[in-house]
Each structure stands twice: as structure tokens, then as C-alpha cells.
Amino acid sequence: MSDENAIIARAYKKQLRGWLSYAFASEVFAVVSLTLFLPICLEQFARDNGYLLPDKTERCSVQQQNAGIPGEEHRCVTKVAWFWVDTASFTLYVYSISVALQALTVISTGGIADHPPHRKSLLFTFAAMGSIASMLFLVLPSSSPVWYLAAVLAAIANVSFGASIVAMNAYLPGLARESFEVVEARRAMLAEMDSSANPRPSGSNSDDTEDDAAPLLAGEHPNPESPTSARGAYDTALSLATSRLSSLGVALGYSAGILLLLLTLVPVTLLKGTTFSLRLAIGASGIWWALFSLPAFLWLPSGHTESTGQKWSFMKEVGAAWVKLGTMLRWREIKKLKNTFIYLAAWFLLSDGFTTITSTAILFAKTTLFMPASSLILIGVLTPSAGILGSFTAPIIQRRLKVSNLTVVVTLVILASLLPIYGCLGFIPAFRDGNVKFGGLTTPGEMFVLAVYFGGLYGAFQGYARAFYAELVPPGEEARWFALFSITDKSSSFLGPLIVGLIADATGNIRYAFFFLVGMIWAAVPILLLVNVPQGKLDAKAYSET
């Protein structure tokens, strides 16, 4: 038995290393490209092919914008089809469209990850597509007559990243259940259930009355939701293991992103933030993504193909995925998993709010505060560095305060909302007119402070948002429900950039978007507070057993 346990332990460690390896590989694209260089690079592509308002006859230039002279006459616009759009809005529109396409892709392919043999192939097919699209930025200059293909490459990379993460997340609940502490807690729970189902005689004084009072179902003795029972200990261990592994994955990914950001800081600084240097950074993230996906490809299990007598068909699975989505969203299904869907409603707003804050802040720093590319890279380093610290310290604080995952998530959301509120202070005349030298997000120095603040919160939030949802997912159907988690994320995340882009185009001042972001984040708080976690866990378990 000990040899068998050793084999199982080695297999688990190998699978865990594979999962963490893909987090280390893929999160680089999110940290380096998706969050930082893609927004800057797309804006620069549009600027290199744009014109200054109001005449639209003089070409835009980095030097003119970095002069820091305010006024609409210095806005840079580029022509897309028949419309003139602000160069910052161009980036937001591209991101919005790519996220909408990502949602459709996740819906179509998310169900395939429910089958272990296809989960791995799905993961690495999209990893290959995304990394190659990123690397192609190396051969597409902004001076090319087909410069707008940069938007297509960005969309392919973003879609591929999101779809691969769905397959990656599907591994998380199983990894948590097979961790050492959870396995031990499960053994204790089963032993308690067995003893309650087959109680030993208590001695010569035992009588029939005592036997009649014993519970008929093992799960009813003792109270399975009591924190002092073995069942309660198992639930606690599973919750902590899920959040620990999720946070570890986030921290490793952030570490990889920071390392590559530091490496790209050299060429971007030496080349003074040219479009080529930005393309170089995006291409490097694609190379990293591809290279470090190889260990994950070797270590993650392929699963086994069940013999059903039916030939597997990709198109059939895509069609079935849409049917499953329709089934999952039926009212009777929503009633069965009420708390799961309440959380998804809050996630719909939060995922969009957090990601839009990130992209808006970078574009704000470039187009309003006129910060150079080297400074933006430094912000890009500070944010995930703080994210690592946040992802590690949040579980420690949680254990000391003995609060639930829900309490942690709500606290992080409220604290994150203070950032756009702070940005709104920039409309106060004292800050806006420069009478006060610091405050209201009107100076580059503030961006560095807020990068650390928001990064710490976002790092913790990413880990806890995923771990909290894992508690409400029906066991055995993780891929299916994590696909819905991602669909909810992507079906909302195109709205934020779209609305921010429209606000920037309509007002000529991206700062107005901060009001919208405050409202979006605060709208999620009362929804989060409606989630009944213990009942949600019971409902999820009952759902999987029906």
C-alpha cells in the first residue's frame, strides 16, 4: 500500500508541476502583453498612422504628444473604415471586439475540456495559436500598408489565451481534492461517517433507546456543516487548498511576467520606446509562452478515452456545448444553483471592472500624463510584484482573522474601488489646474504608488475569485462550470473597454471613464453579499448527484 501511495504522490506532484508550469508560461502574456504592451503598441500603431485634430492633415508624432500641451487640438485620431477614432479608443475597441470573440470561442470549446483526453489537446492548441500570433508582431511594422493586421493578431492572441485558461482552470478543483491535507481530511470524514453508520456498543448500559436515537444517515452525525466535525474540517481543508493552489499559480505567473518585463526594459529604454521595441516585447512574450508550455505539455495527464462506440466529433461537441449552455441557463437550473449564479452575476461586473481599470490606467498614463514607455514598463513591473505579495499575504491574513473567502473578496472589491474614485478627484479645480502639485491622479508619481496599491489587491483578487467560485461548482463538472465562469467573464469584459472608448471619443478626456468604473465595481458589492456559501456548497453537491 505504501508503494501505491508513493506512486500516486509522484503522479500528483508531476501533474501539479505541469499545471504550475502552464501558469508560469501563459500568465507572461497577460502581464507583459495583454496588460501593458498590447494597449501601448496598438495605440502606437494607430498614432503612427494617425493625424492631429482639428485639421487631420498633420501626422501625429510622439514628440508632439510628449510635449504635454493640453487641448483638443493635440488629440491624435486615426481612420477606421469610414470613422475617425481617438488612438486610445482604437485600442479599447480592438480589445472589446477580441473579448467578444473570446466569449464565443469559450462557449464553443469549453465543453470539450470536460473530457480529459481532449482537455489537454484543447489547452495546447490554443497555447500554440496564441504564442504564434504574439511572435508575428516581430515581423509586422507600423509602416506596413496592412498595419491594421496588428489588431487581428492581438485578437487571436487574446482569444487563445482566454480559451486555454478555461482548460487550465478545469484542472484546479481536482488538484485541490488530491492534495495531501485534503486527502487526509477526507479519510477522517469517511471514518467518522463509517463509525456513525455502524456505532459500537457503549457497554452494558447501552439500550435500544440509544440505538433508536442514532441517526439513520451517516452524513447526519455529527452536523456535517459544523466546523468542529470531520465534514466541516474537510470542507475547510478543500477551500484552503483551492485558494492556496490558485494563489500559487497567480504568484508564479506574476513572477514570470516581472522577469520578462525586466528583460524587455533594456531594449525598450535603449530604443526610446519606439514601435519596434514594443513589438519586440510582445514577440518575446509569445516565445516565452511557447517555450515554457513544453514542460506542462509533458507533465499534464492526457486522461483516458472511454469506449462509447461513438466516434468523437469536434463539430458535434461545439454544437453540444451551445445546447449545454442553454440548458445551464434555464430557470430551473438557476434555481438549483442559486448561489452559484448570484456569484456569477457579481463576477460579470467585477471581471469587467478590474480588467478595464488596468487597460484604462495604462492608456491614461500614456495619453494624459504623457509617461514614456520606460516608465510604463516600471509600472508594469511594480503591479505584478505587488500582486505576488498580495496573493501570498491575503491567505495568511485570512487564516489569522479566520474570515471566509467571501469576506476577503468583498473587502478586496471595496478597496479596489478607491482607485477610480481617486482618479475622479482630478476634476476638482485645485488638482486640475495644478494649484496642488500632487493628488487626483494628475502627476506621473502617483501612478507608481497606485500601481503598487492596485497590484496587491488585484493579485489577491484573482486567486480568491477563482477559488471562491470553485467552492460553488458541482463536483465532477468542473470544466463545464469553469467554462461558464469564463463565459461570464468574457461576455461582460467587452462592455467596459467599449464604453470607456465611447466616453473617450465623446469627451476627449479618458478621465471621465473613472466615474463609470466606480459605478460598475460598487454595483457588484450588494450582489456578492447575497451569496450563501454553505448552502451553495450543499446545492452544488446535490446537483452533481442528480
> 3-class SS at 57?
coil
Here the cell at position 325 is 449552455
Between 62 and 433, residue with greater pLDDT: 433
Average confidence score pLDDT of the chain: 81
Cis amide linkage into residue 301, ω under 30° from 0: no
Distance between CA atoms of 466 and 242, rounded to whole angstroms?
Answer: 9
The answer on pLDDT for 157 being more than 80 is: yes
Which H/E stretch holds residue 84?
Answer: strand 83-86
Percent of the chain clearing pLDDT 90 (strictly above): 19
The answer on pLDDT for 219 being more than 60 is: no
Task: Quote the pLDDT of residue 71.
Answer: 41
Task: Quote the pLDDT of residue 20.
Answer: 92
> 3-class SS at 70?
coil
Distance between CA atoms of 26 and 256, rounded to whole angstroms?
Answer: 9
The answer on pLDDT for 211 being more than 50 is: no
Task: Quote the pLDDT of residue 212.
Answer: 39
Task: Quote the pLDDT of residue 179.
Answer: 83
Task: Quote the pLDDT of residue 2.
Answer: 66
CA distances from 378 to 44, 289, 438, 448 (A): 18, 21, 20, 8
Helices (H), 55-179: 62-66, 87-109, 116-135, 149-170, 172-177
Angle at 123 between CA 119 and CA 126, to 5 degrees: 140
Q: Calculate mean pLDDT across residues 24-30.
A: 91
Q: Give the lowest-confidence range in 8-12, 188-192, 215-219, 428-432.
A: 215-219
Please write the tens of the pLDDT for every residue from 439-480: 788 888 899 999 999 999 988 888 788 888 888 888 777 767
Task: Quote the pLDDT of residue 310.
Answer: 61
Please write the tens of the pLDDT for every residue from 365-380: 887 888 888 888 888 8
Task: Quote the pLDDT of residue 304.
Answer: 57
The answer on pLDDT for 140 being more than 90 is: yes
Domains of the chain: residue spans and CATH: 11-65+73-193+226-302+318-545 (1.20.1250.20)
Q: Calculate mean pLDDT across residues 536-541.
A: 88
Q: Give the lowest-confidence range in 23-27, 35-39, 312-316.
A: 312-316
Please write the tens of the pLDDT for every residue from 188-205: 888 877 776 666 555 545
Length of the chain: 546
* DSSP states along 354-407: HHHHHHHHHHHHHHTS---HHHHHHHHHHHHHHHHHHHHHHHHHHHHHT--HHH
CA distances from 131 to 79, 137, 167 (A): 29, 11, 16
Task: Quote the pLDDT of residue 484.
Answer: 77
41 backbone φψ class: left, alpha, beta (φ>0; ψ -120 to 50): alpha
Residues 6+ apart with CB under 8 A from 447: 361, 365, 369, 371, 375, 379, 441
Between 240 and 338, residue with greater pLDDT: 338
φ, ψ of residue 78 to 5 degrees: the values are -130, 155
pLDDT band at 86 (very low <50, low <70, confident <90, very high): confident
